Structure 1
Amino acid sequence: MTTMTEASVREFKMPDVGEGLTEAEILKWYVQPGDTVTDGQVVCEVETAKAAVELPIPYNGVVRELRFPEGTTVDVGTAIITVDEGGGDAGAGEAGGAASVAESETPAETPAPAPPAPQAPKPEGRKPVLVGYGVAEASTKRRPRKGVPVQQAQVPARAQQPEAAAAVQGELNGHTSPVDRPSSVGRPLAKPPVRKLAKDLGVDLATVTPSGPDGIITREDVYAASAPPAPEPVQTPVAAPTPAPAAVSYEGARETRIPIKGVRKATATAMIDSAFTAPHVTEFVTVDVTRTMKLIEELKQDKDLAGLRVNPLLLIAKALLVAIKRHPEVNASWDEANQEIVLKHYVNLGIAAATPRGLIVPNIKDAHTKTLPELAQALGELVSTAREGKTSPAAMQGGTVTITNVGVFGVDTGTPLLNPGESAILAVGAIKLQPWVHKGKVKPRQVTTLALSFDHRLVDGELGSKVLADVAAILEQPKRLITWA
């Protein structure tokens, strides 16, 4: 019989997935105690102040314990899951594995290990808990802990119903449930991408009828479940862009409280820091962009831009990059600690994007080096990735200037707040057909309003005005993209 020691138990700690972030919230566990895991397998999804990230585990073995339930915010560096690397060793034998796991779980303060208990019969027909990764050839069962109460933290967070809680409690005490564990706690079988799709669509997998082999839920099942309208109003509209009016009642309640965490919490903190740290100045200009709109229609027919998204944002971004090239002092940051102004010789162009998780600002690295087709491709990928909720934390780091397009909401203009560490942000209003004096006559023209906010410690009124005027001049006469570039 092989004796297993605590040396075979590995702790997986919450990593820093956001370049300096200090905490993350556990959104979903994809495994439970007793499951077999392999190196690189995704075990959970966490949300940082930047984005949602799936965490792969770097070990092979059997999950011993989930340290925190779903919904818990955990500090970086804290162990969140333990894996017994010896628990998946088929050569040790099933009986030996069961005894060694029980011994390794004996608390340090216990004077002596409990006497061995009869081995539980091996369950038949065990299904994989995480679809696509299979099950271990030999599994181990825990021996009852005599005289040691089961800790509440060891009960999986998903066991919310009385039946599920009883099933999990029995399993932790060494009793085999009449049915397989995954089904006893009501966990539907689905691959991680399908679970992610269900979460994005707001579909509870427990209500979905599976059509795949062995009762596996497919993407088609999730889409079918999301098709009919919900019969009741949503209890907590977390993704709603604005709070519900006071007169609206949710199942009798006159108020709905939404926890401030994740992306929304980070955004609020950043905006407060920005508003009360950097002295903001905002300037406005209204410009005739009729020629730019005509150029966009012509570029849509250009074979070099085939398959790419050509829209006003593309030429506005290019105009801002040209203006920064003509006035590089605007592309800077304020180093308070060293009392220095840091001039950036590169432009990481941020694009504000509204997502169900809140406002995020991913940026295009070295945007000043890209051709128009390359910039169009980068913008398209940035927007689609943000809408899918797959923006990585690294993509939101290191921005230098930002564009926010409030015109897509029909808004004429605004006074945007700077992203911390940046010197300027350009807001683009709605492009509308308006009466405009053109060549001495009043004619209908495509008109928009631009607003440039800048840090007055770095950018004085003259520099800010020149940058904004250059952007407006390029959009009025887009041929300046060639002459000024």
Structure 2
Amino acid sequence: MSDMSRIKTFNLPDLGEGLTEGEILAWLVKVGDTIELNQPIVEVETAKAAVEIPAKWAGQVQAIHHPEGTTVEVGTPIIAIDTDPGAGPLETPSTTATASADLPTPSAASLAAVRVAPAEGMIEPGLIGGAAPGGRTAVLVGYGPRTTAAKRRPRKSEVPTPAGVDHGVVVGDKTATTSTIPAPQVHDRRVGASGGAVLAKPPVRKLAKDLGVDLGTLTGSGPLGSITREDVQQAASGASVVVAEPIAAATAPSFGADREQRIPVKGVRKLTAENMSRSAFTAPHVTEFLTVDVTRAMKALDRLRGRREWRDVRVSPLLLVAKAVLLAVQRHPMVNSTWAGDEIVVKEYVNLGIAAATERGLIVPNVKDAGRLSLRELADALTDLVQTAKSGRTSPAAMSGGTLTITNVGVFGVDTGTPILPPGESAILAFGAVREMPWVHKGKVKVRQVTTLGLSFDHRIIDGELGSKFLRDVGDFLTDPEAALLAWT
């Protein structure tokens, strides 16, 4: 096999929804590593989510073209892989030089060592935009690869990578290699078993979960005391484990001399801001409120948890709220629709969105065709959705195509709110905290469990009567879910 055919360059694929760029959060491999087909090699954050991209070929990593923290355009080469490392050393000498402000132009011989994959190689199989079922087969008109150079997000402080890690950096048509590159401080902080803050990137957390390692029992060897993949692998192999102490400095905000902190608006937060601004000033919002006695609903949940077939299922009040919304949509289909300018598109299917607050910002993944799921299937789908969102692994596809949304503000101890519609949807329901309150029940004041619902809707589609009836039916279900299930289904 010739050098040209064995060295293949993988381009950043279109990860769906016409996204044009992504920020490299973390490389999961380094130069010289032997990788397998479909092995995760890099974590990339787009405007919608952080996703791990698998290797398109098996082989050995020859070059990493962009360091962590770089924002790369779709279609830009990001890594070169030797698909036949057993064939011996490459004949063409590599071009290495010290990085400087004036980078040398690579020679024709050095460029021959790396072959850019054909246009189809820009699309990763199994990802949105690839050959997987439901994926797009072409980049949308007006979107896709651009010819501008990758840009590096500026930082106030730079932390070098460990010595010996060599990344080839491609800028425009110039190539350079540097042994120390700034590493971004992109980590996931949570509380470990020791009670201290655990600093680790999402891929490291996934590895620890797969290997059964408790991150709270480790002392990190990475920047700011973060836990690395090597720390987890060492612990899994039975090496000595040291209990980590709280990292107070890592969790505190970093203020400058002016006592201010500046946080770049990018990724999920940037897209959320754009969508909410567009929705708030495009769709005329109306919000209605309803306070309901959910004592029977909470007792129904307790009975459900006690059943043998439900003991391993996560059952929460959100499950009943979701079921109430789905049944109310059957009675009032217009609520599940979209304003399309000269027409209203009413949808038979319900892609039920659940707003989730993550460390990267607010995201709204949805359960596809939720109206056709049984109560048990709906519970499993909601559990999977929430766990995936918390782990930072929600895919762009899971956040696309939503038709109706629930935002559970009650988990924050909030009674209700006036939520803003996700773009393209006509209604969103805020579910508030369930509290014990004095309530008139059967002519007497008793302590009951009460919650407040807030429904925002697009007044171009849903008038006051329709919105009120829909909200009333959701409330009636939550007041007595067992009776409603018998009467409505």
* TM-score, length-scaled by structure 1: 0.72
User: Which stretch of the first structure deviates more once superposed, 11-20 or 267-276?
Assistant: 11-20
Q: 1:390 aligns with which of 390, 393, 402?
A: 393
Per-residue deviation, 1:28: 1.0
Deviations 1:60-88 (A, max 9, x none): 444343222211111212222233446x2
Paired position in structure 1 for 2:245: 228
State the partner residue of 2:234.
217
Aligned pair partner of 1:100 in 47, 69, 92:
92
Return the letter of the residue paired with 2:235: T
- Cα deviation, 1:10-29, whole Å, max 9, x if unaligned, reads 22111122332221110112
- Counterpart position of 2:473: 470
For residues 385 and 58 of structure 1, the distance between their equivalents in structure 2, rounded to whole angstroms, comes to 24
2:445 corresponds to: 442
Where does residue 136 of structure 2 map in the other structure? none
Give the aligned residue type for 1:446. Answer: Q
Superposed CA deviations along residues 410-464 of structure 1, whole A, max 9, x for unmatched, are 1111000111111111001111111222222222221111100011122111111
Decide whether the 8 Å contact of 1:334 with 1:458 is kept in 2: yes
Q: Which amino acid aligns with 1:410?
A: G
The one-letter code of the counterpart of 1:275 is: A
Tell me, what secondary structure is at the counterpart of 1:324?
helix
Deviation at residue 311 of structure 1 after TM alignment = 2.0
The reply to whether residue 194 of structure 1 matches residue 175 of structure 2 is: no
- Could you tell me which of 49, 55, 58 is aligned with 1:57? 55
Q: Secondary structure at the match of 1:300?
A: helix
1:5-404 mapped onto 2 (5 Å cutoff): 5=4, 7-85=5-83, 88-90=85-87, 93-94=88-89, 97=90, 99-102=91-94, 110=107, 161=160, 164=163, 168=166, 193-194=203-204, 203=220, 205=222, 207=225, 216-218=233-235, 227-232=244-249, 234=251, 236=253, 250=255, 254-336=259-341, 339-404=342-407
Report the CA distance between 1:162 and its aligned residue. Answer: 9.9
The answer to whether the 8 Å contact 1:13/1:80 transfers is yes
The aligned amino acid for 2:463 is: D
Is the radius of gyration larger for structure 1 or structure 2? 1
CA distance in 2, matches of 1:473, 1:325: 15
Gaps of 5+ in 2: 98-103, 111-150, 152-157, 169-178, 184-199, 210-214
In structure 2, distance between residues paired with 1:104 and 1:255: 41
Letter in 1 for 2:484: R
In 1, distance between residues paired with 2:347 and 2:334? 8
Judge which range, 324-333 or 52-61, deviates more: 52-61
Paired position in structure 2 for 1:175: none
Which deviates further from its counterpart, 221-230 or 250-259? 221-230
Relative to 1, partners in 2 of residues 1:48 and 1:303: Cα closer, same or farther, differing over 3 Å? Answer: same
Q: For 1:359-411, what per-residue CA distance to the aligned partner results, in whole angstroms no more than 9, with x for missing partners? A: 21111111111111111121122112222222222211111111111111111
> Match of 1:453?
456
Alignment deviations for residues 47-104 of structure 1 (CA, whole Å, 9 cap, x no partner): 1122211112212444343222211111212222233446x242xx44xx2x324499
2:485 corresponds, among 464, 481, 484, to: 481
- The CA distance in 2 between the partners of 1:306 and 1:109, in whole Å, is 63
Asked whether the 8 Å contact 1:3–1:100 carries over to 2, the reply is no
Q: Which moved more, 1:30-39 or 1:404-413?
A: 30-39
Where 2:452 maps in the other structure, the secondary structure is: strand
Q: Secondary structure at the match of 1:81?
A: strand
In structure 2, how many angstroms separate the alpha carbons of the residues matched to 1:112 and 1:12? Answer: 20
Percentage identity across paired residues of the two chains: 54
Please show how residues 399-438 of structure 1 align to structure 2 within 5 Å.
Answer: 399-438=402-441
Counterpart-to-counterpart distance in 2, 1:67 and 1:296: 53
Q: SS where residue 306 of structure 2 aligns?
A: coil
CA contact (8 A) 1:28 1:46 kept: yes
Question: Partners in 2 of 1:169 and 1:286 — Cα distance?
Answer: 59
Q: Measure, in 2, the Cα distance between the counterparts of 1:292 and 1:278.
A: 33
Alpha-carbon distance in structure 2 between the residues aligned to 1:372 and 1:112? 63
**Structure 2 counterpart SS, 1:232:** helix
2:428 is aligned with what amino acid?
I
Gaps of 5+ in 1: 114-152, 154-158, 171-180, 238-249
**Structure 1 residues 222, 297: closer, same or farther in 2, change over 3 A?**
farther
* Alpha-carbon spacing, 1:223–1:390, altered in 2? closer, same or farther (3 Å): farther
**Does the C-alpha gap of structure 1 residues 204 and 483 become closer, same or farther in structure 2, counting only changes over 3 Å?**
farther
Aligned CA-pair RMSD: 4.1
Provide TM-score, normalisation by structure 2.
0.72
Partners of 1:39 and 1:227 lie apart in 2 by: 35
* Alpha carbons 2:63, 2:167 under 8 Å: kept: no
Q: Which residue of 1 aligns with 2:146?
A: none
The answer to whether the 8 A contact 1:407-1:429 is kept is yes
- How far apart in 1 are the matches of 2:356 and 2:366? 10
- Provide the secondary structure at the position in 2 that maps to 1:100: coil
Is the CA contact (8 Å cut-off) linking 2:30 and 2:64 kept in structure 1? yes
Provide the rounded CA distance (Å) in 1 between the counterparts of 2:105 and 2:324.
Answer: 67
Amino acid at match of 1:462: E
Q: 1:22 to 1:222 in 2, by over 3 A?
A: farther
Match of 1:178 in 2: none
Q: Is the 8 A contact 1:4 1:101 kept in 2?
A: no
Change (3 A) 1:305 1:112: closer
Conserved in 2, the CA contact under 8 Å of 1:25 and 1:46? yes
Letter of the 1:194 counterpart:
V
**Could you tell me how far apart the structure 2 residues matched to 1:49 and 1:221 are?**
39
User: Counterpart amino acid of 1:78?
Assistant: T
Distance 2:229 2:250 in 1: 28
